[in-house]
Structure 1
Amino acid sequence: MTRLIVAAGGGGDAVAAAMLDAGLYGGQERAVILTYAWDRLLIDPAPGPRGADNFTGLLPITPAVSEVPAEARPIAPAGSTLPRLAAELPNTFALLDPHQGAEGVTRQLKELINHLSPTSIDLLDVGGDILARGDEPTLKSPLADALTLAACCQVNAPVRLLVAGPGLDGELPPDDFRDLLGTLVHTFTAADVDRLGSVLDWHPSEATGMLAATARGARGTCEIRDAGLPVHLTDESPTVHEVDLADAVSRNQLARAIMTTETLDEVEARSREICGYSEIDYERNKAAWLKDQPPTDLNPDTVLTQLEAFEADATRRGVTHTTFRHLTEALNYNGTQRASLRELLISSRPEQYQAPLWRITTNPE
């Protein structure tokens, strides 16, 4: 017997799914986590999600679904955090491949449900952008969530939609969808986060990182992404709420429009029509720009001087925390230098590391 958790957006949602399995279910039945291999450009220099043909070492589960074990490897230049997650967490990670559109994702989900006969099926989204209409000015990445939502409403099985950390993805203010939040299912605690071991020390997810930080007690305002979006860390941030699946589909225009799509290109075309853009286009453009940006030398004295200037400005904006992804871009370093920058800062000022976030101070000791 097992549980199935569908990580709506891939990336950090897969980590949050493992945290949910540990915190809500106690890990008694090892959950299978169905997730995209979509880690954005900090980890994967190739835009968009990875498919099964981008890996070696996958293990077949059903004709359309493969497991990503610890021994699997992405084929260069692609990158993926999934093999390392499989190595460090007790869960089984199954690959969700969106290249056959919503029809393909639905087929994968049906096959996996028939194979596993799971005791429960949860669709988990961190932040709440799965509840977007599609026209919100702050919405940045609706495509992956809309695809999983479209598929989950087309399987003949009970799927429970869960939203963790309302607003933590910086895409929708919680007030925009608070009326849709139903039963409080769980409030994450520090113990839930600790069960993940060291995963959040290296995984780049900002939303799940903030979810973990708030479970450990962090409160304030955190700047994220390349644009420095402010996200409020509140008592609501570590909560998980159930949302009616039909209400979510009724609200999400993109999910309804892509129900019968058979290719990822079709999904992107619908996203451009409804939302005005495809998030994969943004990744394509940014990847092309990053190829022309040589890495800058990480000189410790220079970095700390830049940090002090950044923190002074951030304090004036009312910012109390930031992510290492945002720090990397705000200090004008290459995304591949994120891990090195993080190590340098923590070793220089360990008191400012409020795992896995960086705490802002204008008076470093």
Structure 2
Amino acid sequence: MNAFVFGLGGGGDVASTYIAMKYLYLKNISSIVGAVTWERYVEDPLPGPICKEDMKNAVVINDVITEVNQSSYAIRNGLTVIPQLVRYLKAMNIDKGYSICIKYGPKSIAEGIADLASRLNTNFIIGVDAGGDVLAKGCEETLGSPLIDFLMLASLVELENMGFNVLLATIGAGSDGELEQEYILKRISEIARNEGLIDIKGIDKDMERDLEIILSNVNTEASRIPFEAFKGLYGEIPIRNGTRKVKVSPISSIMFFLDPKKVAYTSPLYNIVKNSSSLEDANRKLNEVGIYTEYNFELDLYAKFGLNARNVDSEKILQIRSEGRRKLGGLKINC
């Protein structure tokens, strides 16, 4: 038996798929890796996801899925971008993986993944999130990247409704500096009371060497913190060029496996995006309730700095986010 395990939130979330895959290995289940290919602005200043039209040295499976290998790359407005998924393949010497394009709505994304699962002859799918923002409700003022996470959470629910065996895995509670660790743990407890906590797996010594190799190749802060916590890092540390702070403790190295439906049904954000027809539509719906998304931020940053967005200092980053939230008029959502 095998499973399709993918990084759910774009960027470096793919590094955390290794922990889920080791969890499955202990259950005699092999894994095929994938990721939502949406790189942070420091890697790819062009706003939005990387999709089939951007990829080179790759094989298009369908509109949503592109097969990539160790020599794959993307061209974005003339710039060469190496997705973190490709870096993961190189680090682990894996022949191929699968890029997920999320410019579509949840139903279309789920259909694309279902097509891949059929080709891979698997019924088991796990989406992996580093940081835990996928557990947000929408009222959290520090929430900065709800769009990708909730499009993919809604896609996992669609896949579950299709009959697939689906799990949502999250590690590094609060490790991306958006939601506090204690809040993430409280949300997991709420989901557990609704029979939504399926299993728990922490980093162990057997993973240490491979994780070091992965993290020396994959550019990520949120997925690095669980490893550093396992190695003894403790306390509050700055990330994202000092624009955020993260509480790090041994809890940061624990992965929680959850039922996507139980997560979705405890968050208003799921209901906002679940019937979206596209990424743009989902973003618009979130804006209507006063939520400033990572896509809004990238658009605003690019409009002001263009390809130089990769070099913008932390003060300007904070100003752009603050002004973007102000223009939306504040949160209009009940949690």
For structure 1, the residue ranges without an aligned partner over 5 or more in a row are: 297-327, 333-365
- CA 1:84–1:221 in 2, change beyond 3 Å: closer, same or farther? same
Q: How far 1:152 moved relative to its partner? A: 0.9
Corresponding residue of 2:218: 203
Deviation at 1:150, TM superposition (A): 0.5
Note the C-alpha offset of 1:211. Answer: 1.3
SS in 2 for 1:112: helix
Cα deviation code 1:145-186 (max 9, x no counterpart): 101110111122121122212221222223331423535521
Q: Match of 1:100, SS?
A: coil
Contact 2:229 2:252 in 1 (8 A): yes
* Match runs of 1:281-360 below 5 Å: 281-291=296-306, 329=313
The yes-or-no answer on 1:89 pairing with 2:88 is no
Residues 198, 259 of structure 2: 8 Å contact kept: no
Question: What's 1:11 paired with?
Answer: 11
1:256 and 1:144 map into 2 onto residues whose CA distance is: 14
Return the match for 1:172 from 174, 179, 182. Answer: 179
Q: 1:163 aligns with which of 150, 166, 170?
A: 170
Task: Name the structure 2 match of 1:121.
Answer: 125
Q: Which amino acid aligns with 2:49?
A: P
From the superposition, tell whether residues 205 and 329 of structure 1 become closer, same or farther in structure 2 (CA, over 3 Å). Answer: farther
SS in 2 for 1:207: coil
Counterpart secondary structure, 1:32: strand
* Partner in structure 1 of residue 261 of structure 2: 246
Q: Does 1:279 align with 2:294?
A: yes
For 1:105, the equivalent position in structure 2 comes to 109
Gaps of 5+ in 2: 317-335
> For residues 286 and 135 of structure 1, what CA distance do their matches in structure 2 show?
24
CA RMSD, Structure 1 to Structure 2 (Å) = 2.8
Measure, in 2, the Cα distance between the counterparts of 1:102 and 1:295: 29
8 Å Cα contact 2:65-2:99 kept in structure 1: yes
**Secondary structure of 2:236's partner?**
strand
3-state SS, counterpart of residue 68 of structure 1: strand
Q: Secondary structure at the match of 1:251?
A: coil
Letter in 1 for 2:277: E
Which letter maps to 1:143? L
Post-superposition offset of 1:78: 5.4
Q: Measured at CA, do residues 42 and 295 of structure 1 come closer, stay the same or move farther in structure 2, by a change above 3 Å?
A: closer
How far off is 1:230 after superposition? 1.8
- Structure 1 residues 3 and 162, CA gap change in structure 2 (3 angstroms): same
The one-letter code of the counterpart of 1:65 is I
Cα distance in 1, alignment partners of residues 153 and 145 from structure 2:
14
For residues 234-262 of structure 1, the C-alpha deviation after alignment (integer angstroms, 9 at most, x for no partner) is: 12110011223222111232322222322
> How many percent of aligned residue pairs carry the same amino acid?
23
CA contact (8 A) 1:33 1:93 kept: yes
Q: Which residue of 1 aligns with 2:144?
A: 140
- Relative distance call for 1:201 and 1:95 in structure 2 (3 A) is same
Report deviation, 1:275.
4.6
Equivalent of residue 151 in structure 1, options 149, 155, 158: 155
Deviations 1:305-359 (A, max 9, x none): xxxxxxxxxxxxxxxxxxxxxxx95699xxxxxxxxxxxxxxxxxxxxxxxxxxx
2:237 to 200, 217, 222: 222
Structure 2 residue identity aligned to 1:192: M
Following the alignment from structure 1 to structure 2, what is the Cα–Cα distance between the partners of residues 114 and 51?
Answer: 21
**8 Å Cα contact 1:150/1:258 also seen in 2:** yes
Who wins on radius of gyration, i.e. which is larger? 1
Distance (whole Å) between structure 1 residues aligned to residue 232 and residue 13 of structure 2 = 20
> Which structure is richer in relative contact order (CA contacts within 8 A, separation 6 or more)?
2
Q: Per-residue CA shift, 1:49-102, capped at 9, x if unaligned?
A: 111101112124457522111121211325223323222224542111111222
Distance 2:148 2:310 in 1: 30
- Counterpart CA distance in 2 for 1:290 and 1:199 is 31
TM-score with structure 1 setting the length: 0.74
- In structure 2, the partner of 1:48 is 48
Secondary structure of the 2:33 match is: strand
Q: For residues 238 and 197 of structure 1, do their structure 2 counterparts lie closer, same or farther at Cα, with a shift above 3 Å needed?
A: closer
